């Protein structure tokens, strides 16, 4: 089995339009929260990408893409540029594209349903099908950059981006690809989708406060986080600097409940990721938690970490405290955050933290970033439907 390394990172996130900007807002705990453009009356708050200039970088015609695909293409472009992948040094037929989407073309669907039912139009946009189909984001990344290897979308709720990264690594290990552009993208901040989430009564009224006493729920977000993975042999052959090693990946299903998270399932997948990477619990110096800010998730994830790591659990922080919950994009965005933490030797904080919750009693690096020697880190994602995934990175 071939060793898998990361050589490129790309991100579009609330408050940031590239990796340096993302790390700045993350390590400074600059939480994003405001009424969405689609619902400016302010009843719901979200973490939205508001930089409109990013579309100037889009290498394909923006009007042909759903917003989720636009974000995927933009983040992939940054990652490919960082990795310096191109036809001159890589067989593009051996470059896979695997993107995680929770809901795919939700913005385009919402726009066309409004046109049909509210505006009483009898005809819809001629690109409605291609903009809303679930495979669109991966297809557009392939088209935009001429990548001809295995290309598909993974939809596994909030674990989608993490699954995409892990499966991309497995394709490289097995020899089905030399390089994989992997991660997640999501643009769910339209009126219909937000009202659907609001009906569940799990949305935060202000900001996301993972693991904190007084947390009131998740904050919907959008964005894209993309990694370029390749075999270590391929990276060496073209002289590419290695950012991190994808040491381990595991995924599982609770087979229990659609909404209530399972402590046992979370613990099992973290332990399996460590085993796959040849790591012991004491080797891990940092955990980027799923940390959604809901009562049930944060309690269960805390208990699961304690079950795997015992009394010597490493520091834990939650990127969603800054970026909001990017749904299918979250795993990709948080994998970028985890690798950046390893590279910078710094743990980004859990922002908006108020007071300790007796049921969440780990070190969550509250509000202020922390310098630390980091050798290995986990990135966790736990989705509705009991879908679990964990990545282990080392430097």
Among 214, 237, 260, identify where a domain stops: 237
Q: Which of 191, 217, 237 is the last residue of a domain?
A: 237
Owning domain of residue 386: 247-394
Q: Same domain for 23 and 158?
A: yes
Q: Are residues 223 and 312 in the same domain?
A: no
* CA dist., res. 26 & res. 162, Å (int): 19
Q: What's the pLDDT at 72?
A: 98
Total of domains in the chain: 2
* Active-site option among 208, 234, 251, 325: 325
Walk along the chain (395 residues) in steps of 10 and give the mean pLDDT of each run: 95 98 98 94 92 96 95 98 97 98 88 87 88 94 98 98 98 98 97 94 97 97 98 98 98 96 98 98 98 98 98 96 98 98 98 97 98 98 97 98
Can 163 be counted among the known catalytic residues?
no
DSSP characters over 139-162: HHHHHHHT--S-EEEE-BTBTHHH
Say yes or no: 284 and 175 in one domain.
no
What's the CA gap between 30 and 304, in Å, rounded? 28
Please report whether residue 242 resides in a domain: no
Directed axis angle between helix 160-174 and helix 330-344, to 10°?
70
**Per-residue pLDDT, 362:** 98
Does residue 290 have an active-site annotation? yes
* Three-state secondary structure call for residue 366: strand
Is 205 in the same domain as 154?
A: yes
Nearest alpha-carbon partner for 193 in 73, 67, 294 = 67
Query: Which of the following is catalytic: 158, 208, 251, 360?
Result: 158
Residues 262 and 160 in one domain: no
Same-domain check for residues 254 and 223? no
Asked whether residue 168 falls in the same domain as residue 275, the answer is no
Examine the residue annotation and report whether 158 is marked as an active-site residue of this protein: yes
Q: Which of 206, 237, 268 is the last residue of a domain?
A: 237
The CATH number of residue 255's host domain is: 3.40.47.10
Note the pLDDT of residue 114: 86
pTM: predicted TM-score of the whole model, two decimal places:
0.97
Catalytic hit among 208, 234, 251, 290: 290
Domain match, 109 and 217 both: yes
CA–CA distance, 361 with 273 (Å, rounded to integer): 23
């Amino acid at each position: 089995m071939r060793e898998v390394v990361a050589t490129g990172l790309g991100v579009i996130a609330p408050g940031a339009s590239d990796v340096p900007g993302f790390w700045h807002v993350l390590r400074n705990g600059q939480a994003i929260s405001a009424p969405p453009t689609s619902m400016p009356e302010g009843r719901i708050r979200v973490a939205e990408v508001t930089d409109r200039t990013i579309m100037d970088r889009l290498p394909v015609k923006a009007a042909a893409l759903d917003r989720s695909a636009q974000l995927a293409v933009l983040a992939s472009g940054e990652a490919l540029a960082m990795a310096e992948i191109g036809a001159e040094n890589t067989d593009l037929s051996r470059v896979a594209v695997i993107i995680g989407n929770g809901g795919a073309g939700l913005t385009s669907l919402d726009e066309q349903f409004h046109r049909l039912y509210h505006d009483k139009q009898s005809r819809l946009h001629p690109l409605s099908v291609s903009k809303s189909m679930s495979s669109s984001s991966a297809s557009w990344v392939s088209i935009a950059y001429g990548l001809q290897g295995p290309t598909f979308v993974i939809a596994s709720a909030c674990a989608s981006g993490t699954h995409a990264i892990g499966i991309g690594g497995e394709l490289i290990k097995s020899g089905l690809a030399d390089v994989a552009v992997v991660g997640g993208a999501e643009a769910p901040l339209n009126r219909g989708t937000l009202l659907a989430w609001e009906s569940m009564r799990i949305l935060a009224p202000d900001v996301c406060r993972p693991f904190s006493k007084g947390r009131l729920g998740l904050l919907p977000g959008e964005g894209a986080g993309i990694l370029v993975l390749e075999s270590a042999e391929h990276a060496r052959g073209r002289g590419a600097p290695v950012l991190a090693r994808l040491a381990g990946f595991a995924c599982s299903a609770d087979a229990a409940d659609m909404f209530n998270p399972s402590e046992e399932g979370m613990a099992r997948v973290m332990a399996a990721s460590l085993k796959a990477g040849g790591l012991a619990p004491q080797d891990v110096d940092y955990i980027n938690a799923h940390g959604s800010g809901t009562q049930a998730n944060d309690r269960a994830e805390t208990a699961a970490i304690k079950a795997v790591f015992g009394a010597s659990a490493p520091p834990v922080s939650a990127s969603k405290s800054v970026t909001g919950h990017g749904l299918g994009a979250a795993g990709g965005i948080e994998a970028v955050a985890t690798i950046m933490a390893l590279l910078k030797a710094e743990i980004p904080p859990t922002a908006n933290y108020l007071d300790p919750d007796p049921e969440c009693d780990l070190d969550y690096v509250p509000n202020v970033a922390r310098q630390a020697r980091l050798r290995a880190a986990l990135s966790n994602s736990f989705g509705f439907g009991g879908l679990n995934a964990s990545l282990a990175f080392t430097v």
